[in-house]
Chains A and B, each alone.
Chain A
Amino acid sequence: MRFASSLLLLACASLGAGLAQADVIGPPRVNDAVIRGEGFPARLSDFAFFTQARFQMPNAGVHPYALNTPLWSDGAEKLRFIYLPEGTQLAADGEGLLKFPVGAAIIKTFAFGEGEGEDRRLIETRVLLHRADGWVALPYRWNAEQTDAVLALTGGRVDLTTPAGEAISYAIPNKNQCKSCHSKDGQVIPIGPKARNLSAEWLGAMVKQGALDKVPAGGGTLPSWRARKASDPAAPLARAYLDVNCAHCHQPGGGASNSGLDLRWEQADPHAFGIMKRPVAAGRGAGNMDFAIVPGHPEQSILLYRMDSAEPGIAMPELGKSSVDHEGVAAVRRWIAEMK
């Protein structure tokens, strides 16, 4: 916001106040009306979240962010943004989800390929819109020309090669599938921007900008996945990975609540997060094993077996995964292997 207003001042100074019309000086502002409105906007550009969409340059009020431990999606690079309407801010709520004002939006673009330029191919952008009657989740699919993304209510599939070199049929979720993950007790909610999974630096910077009311206690406590080292303790990494990749369904009120498996970071009961827990409705996902986690025995642990599969009916997560996250599997395998 401040950046944009200072631009405006500069422009006014150089051009003279009489010429300072918004359409001359800068890009249109983010379209608050379509965020708060009723329908499903047909194009990503309708929101004006970006000044240069191809390069994901955020518009005024759009704040980039990153997560300490991100959700893995076939190795896609993810560009994450929070939009806050003018005059609003986020509110801290302990280590949990930041509280968003009505009119806010969360934007996540999925990309494959190197760098930030022409070699990077934008595949889809998912938006969460905070409307007066709750959150709405919508998927947008990028066109071949990479000029805009179009509403993909029914999702779709894109053939691509992952950074690991696997050729896959990448699945863009449909609108309902967005909710499958983004839901608790039947309501659509954000998942990612929990204070514990955001860096202290980012939280501090947001407070400085006036975009967050205060630095939350318990912010930044999840380990950094990208900066992890082989010598790091196994449990925090594995539990953070499971929290971020699995717990949106595997928690009370989540999509997989009936399994009784609760993989949230804060769950302290070993049986609840899988140790010597029998499967409920795993079917062939059980892989002829008896327990979700057998301490010391990753090869006898259903949880790892399902993470390590890309076959529908066995693979976990059920959505947003067409290949195996070998690094995630390795981290969870080490945790189970070292477990007494």
Chain B
Amino acid sequence: MNRLAPRHLLASAALLASAAAPLAAETHRVAPGEGGAERLQEALILAEAGDVIELGEGRFTLTDGLSLDVDGVTVRGAGMDKTVLDFTGQQGAGEGLLVTSDNVTLRDFAVENPKGDGIKSKGADNIIYRGIRVEWTGGPKESNGAYGIYPVESTGVLVTQSKVSGASDAGIYVGQSRDITVSENIVSFNVAGIEIENSRNALVTNNIATRNTGGLLVFDLPGLPVMGGGNVILRENVVKDNDTANFAPKGNIVASVRRGTGVLVMANDGVLIENNAFENNPTAHVMVVAYVQPFDDARYNPYARNVIVGPNAFGRGGDDPQLDGKEMLLAAFGGALPPVLWDGIAQGDTGLRIAKGVTGWTLGLKTPGQSLAEAQPGPLMLTPVESWDFPEVGAPAALEARLK
């Protein structure tokens, strides 16, 4: 029973001999089939730092959430369409897989139909998700779980080459974290494709966000343990056809996202949107707004500050906005709204900046929380800026290197 005792003893002997003797990593193979769920959970518990848990090809049927709490473990499947963790019959836990340890790599497997979130990593620094698929196979439904890939309260996050579909909140949600790269993912049929919330130093690049309610969201919200979102770059993403009706359960902040939003920036300090391709986002390709709800949090700044819309390829869009007064607006702007929608709310001189050639319209509001009834819509009359300084951001290079 006590399979690990010898290694534990070896480990302590080694530690006594020299302070940092690395252990020989082991590879544990787990195949689906009879007792697969138990064998998999057992492997996750008994793994030691540096170990690899290899999931065989096929389908694991799970009734309970899995969890990993050992640093430095790699969990690797045979491919996102070959190894499937099937949570259709899940009876307990708030997510499919929970990771609470550092330096973990998750790659090449799928999580299907979890009752809550797909994969959550909390306080798990330097985590990599690569080639992961999280999917609610019944399509977009309010009864689907909230988040597909869900790192939170972590420093060092890389989510890459993964796919999420059907999340009733955000496909890929990074919350209350720092030093983040979200790259080369495909997010579709979620309420929010990718959401960066109360996080700093995030690079969102080379993703495809399509058929969501909103493509890419950058939020900063009050009342959370970690505050002060900003330094976020959205670069070279394809954001198209985000036209799925909002199916988020009400009460969640994303339930307020209008169908047909490409990028939505709410509050935050420092967001750069450049070199993305936008096509057919019927409400707005880019929306920049203050937080409008009342709040009681002295740490919070509801303004969207230092947001820059650089050069982007703006295709057709804004031609079927989910906005009050839609007909009037469309008539006023000649059949389609210009690509950038700003609420007009600026804190001092930190208001929206645009590059040459970027067009938009403004609601002409002045203060966060001001009623939309007081909006004075009109074309965006900003003097384009020639250049800007913006810090380079993203996950530590060591994370990319770990995948080599």
Contact = CB atoms under 8 A, between A and B. Distances in A.
Interface string A179-220: 110000010000000000000000000000000000000000
A281 B169 contact: yes
A151 B1 contact: yes
A34 to B, nearest CB: 10
A174 interface: yes
B223 interface: yes
B176 interface: yes
A153 B46 contact: yes
B204 interface: no
Nearest to A316: B94
Contacts of A155: 41, 64
Given A174-B45, A283-B146, A322 B221 contact: no
Contacts of B68: 176
B175 A171 contact: no
A180 B108 CA distance: 26
A287 B251 contact: yes
B360 to A, nearest CB: 29
A287 B248 CA distance: 10
Nearest to B150: A281
A114 interface: no
B27 interface: no
Nearest to A291: B251
Contacts, number: 152
Interface in B1-31: 1-2, 4-5, 8-9, 12
Contacts of A257: 153, 225
Nearest to A302: B251
A260 interface: yes
A284 B176 contact: no
B250 A288 contact: yes
Contacts of B45: 153-154, 174-176
Interface in B94-148: 94, 98, 100, 114-117, 122-123, 142-147
A312 B1 contact: no
- The size bracket of the interface on A is 35 or more
B335 interface: no
Interface string B227-257: 0000000000000000000000111110000
A257 to B, nearest CB: 6
A318 B92 contact: yes
Contact of B249 (A157, A288, A319): A288
Contact of A284 (B9, B122, B146): B146
B332 interface: no
Interface of B is mostly: loop
Given A271-B296, A319-B92, A277 B223 contact: yes
A175 to B, nearest CB: 5
A40 interface: yes
B224 interface: yes
A258 interface: yes
B251 A282 contact: yes
B91 A39 contact: no
A177 interface: yes
Interface in B27-51: 38, 41-42, 44-46
B115 A311 contact: yes
Contacts of B91: 157, 169, 171, 312, 322
Contacts of B123: 186
B206 interface: no
A118 interface: no
Given A281-B147, A281-B175, A312 B223 contact: no
25 contacts: A40-B1, A42-B1, A151-B1, A174-B41, A174-B64, A175-B45, A176-B45, A179-B69, A255-B122, A258-B224, A278-B223, A278-B251, A281-B146, A281-B147, A281-B152, A283-B117, A284-B146, A284-B168, A286-B251, A287-B251, A288-B250, A288-B251, A290-B250, A313-B114, A322-B92
9 shortest A-B CB distances, which residue pairs?
A283-B146, A286-B251, A42-B1, A313-B115, A318-B94, A312-B115, A176-B67, A39-B5, A313-B116
